[in-house]
Amino acid sequence: MIYDFFLKITGSNILASIIQSLLPLFIFILPFALFAVWLERKVSAHMQDRLGPMRVGKHGWLQTVADILKLIQKEDIVPNDADKPLFNIAPILVFVGSYAVFAAIPFSGAFIGSNIDLGIIFIIAASGFVVAGILMAGWASNNKYSLLGAMRSAAQIISYEIPTVLVVLTIIMITGTTNLATLSEMQTGHFWNWMIFGGPNFGIAKFIFIPFMIINFIIIYISTLAEVNRTPFDIPEAESELVSGYHTEYSGMKFAMFFLAEYANMFAVSAIVTALFFGGYQSPIGYLGNLFGAHWLIPIEQFIWFTAKGIFFVFVQMWLRWTLPRLRVDQLMAACWKYLIPIAFVNLIIIGLITVL
């Protein structure tokens, strides 16, 4: 698809792969991060009875561009006693981790960075990479707040990966595939074919699945929220306790990379939830392209649907952030080990039984 297109233009495998891999970064992650930061500020502002940025551009839409320009100009401060090589690598590692996730996300039928068969497994593995970066940042900063933040973060992300994976397993059991593109294709048609509504198969099993799927969705949404360190699970960077956790000591562009990674991650987890439960890039109501017979329109429509769904879940994350207080670290662990994991296990077993029968 996209790859073949680039292959035709450049005539070289390597060039085509490079372009293809950079594509999501430039056409999606960077603009999205800019947009999401602006959105976050506007959403929070309107929830709090204020206006938010209003000066730069209409309703401040250029505010993040200005912020990024400011961050680029800032002095890059490395603390004297920091472990310099680790300190410099850490933001890159975090960014790479969250960027790599995008490789396997199916934005539309025609555009998926790398259509690998182990898509969802790859995503989970790649996002685990972020932990290493965060630990590195916390350790290398030689700051106790950073260290505490990093330790909390590592514990949190690793714990919450378990319920995520358990939920993913149930999906794999039902559909028999780990390829996200295939998974999205399976949920084609109308919204009742989405996994949250029991998946594409018909019959009594579909209706039995629905309540379990909703539970599954809630579990995965909570645990992905924790994995990207958003409120109420933002304890690794708990501003009022740990200043800002593992990136306390970072400034300038390195800080911007953490920032970018955070917003990229927000979309990535929303994309996973969308792909697994909400039909991926499939439209809930059919395509205009089919209606008009213009089939080239369909991938574009799919892209729009996918982004819209993703941004909706990002919006919900923001909504939660500006409404809820923050949990304490032990309560967070208790929520994971005492509630989410057992429920996810039971769900896994029940859905397994239903599938077998």
Partner 1 sequence: MALKTEEMILNMGPQHPSTHGVLRLELELEGEIIIGAKPHIGYLHRCFEKHCEAMTYPQVTPYTDRMDYLASMYNEFGYALAVEKLLGIQVPERVEYIRVIMGEFQRIASHLVAIGTYGLDIGAMTPFLYCFRDRERILSLFEQTCGARLLYNYIWVGGLSHDLHPDFINQAKDFIKYFRPKIKELNDLLTNNKIFIDRTANVGILPLDLAINYGISGPNLRASGFKWDIRKDDPYSVYNKFDFEIPIGNGTMGTVGDCWDRYYIRVLEMEESLKIIEQALEQIPEGDVTSAIPKRIKPAVGQVYSRVENPRGELGYFVMSDGSVNPFRVKVKGPSFVHLGIMNELLKGYMIADVIAILGSIDIVLGEVDR
Least distance between partner 1 and beta carbon 237 (Å): 11
- In the bound state with partner 1, the residue whose beta carbon lies nearer, of 4 and 49, is 49
The Cα 273–Cα 234 span in angstroms is 20
Residue selected from 11, 203, 293, 325 as contacting partner 1 according to rule CB under 8 A: 325
- In the bound state with partner 1, the residue whose beta carbon lies nearer, of 231 and 265, is 231
CB 82 within 8 A of CB 140: yes
Residue selected from 176, 239, 342, 345 as contacting partner 1 according to rule CB under 8 A: 239
Helix axes 119-140, 252-277, angle to 10 degrees: 150
Least distance between partner 1 and beta carbon 146 (Å): 12
Using the contact rule CB under 8 A, the part of the chain among 17-25, 76-84, 240-248, 264-272 near partner 1 is 240-248
Residue selected from 331, 339, 345, 349 as contacting partner 1 according to rule CB under 8 A: 331
Using the contact rule CB under 8 A, the part of the chain among 102-110, 184-192, 277-285, 318-326 near partner 1 is 318-326
Provide the residue type at 260 as one letter: L
290 is an interface residue for partner 1 by CB under 8 A: no
Query: Is the sign of the CA dihedral 231, 232, 234, 238 positive or negative?
Result: positive
234 is an interface residue for partner 1 by CB under 8 A: yes
Least distance between partner 1 and beta carbon 323 (Å): 6
Question: Which CA distances in Å does 146 have to 74, 218, 242?
Answer: 21, 31, 7
Burial of residue 205 (CB within 10 Å: 0-12, 13-18, 19+) is: middle
**Tokens linked to 327:** 């949990």
Instruction: Tell me the per-residue interface mask from 42 to 81 with partner 1, x by CB under 8 A, - otherwise.
Output: --x--xxxx-------------------------------
- In the bound state with partner 1, the residue whose beta carbon lies nearer, of 39 and 181, is 39
- In the bound state with partner 1, the residue whose beta carbon lies nearer, of 227 and 234, is 234
Using the contact rule CB under 8 A, the part of the chain among 51-59, 80-88, 126-134, 143-151 near partner 1 is 143-151
327 is an interface residue for partner 1 by CB under 8 A: yes
Least distance between partner 1 and beta carbon 319 (Å): 11
- In the bound state with partner 1, the residue whose beta carbon lies nearer, of 216 and 231, is 231
Q: How many residues bind partner 1 (CB under 8 A)?
A: 29
The Cα 330–Cα 196 span in angstroms is 31
The Cα 259–Cα 264 span in angstroms is 9
Pairing of strands 111-112, 106-108: antiparallel
SS3 111: strand
Least distance between partner 1 and beta carbon 70 (Å): 21
Residues 6 or more apart whose Cβ sits within 8 Å of residue 326: 231, 232, 233, 234, 235, 238
CB 55 within 8 A of CB 134: no
117 is an interface residue for partner 1 by CB under 8 A: no
The Cα 185–Cα 119 span in angstroms is 14
Q: Which residues pair with 326 in a beta bridge?
A: none
Write out the residues near partner 1 by the rule CB under 8 A: 44, 47-50, 144-145, 148, 231-232, 234-235, 238-243, 321-331
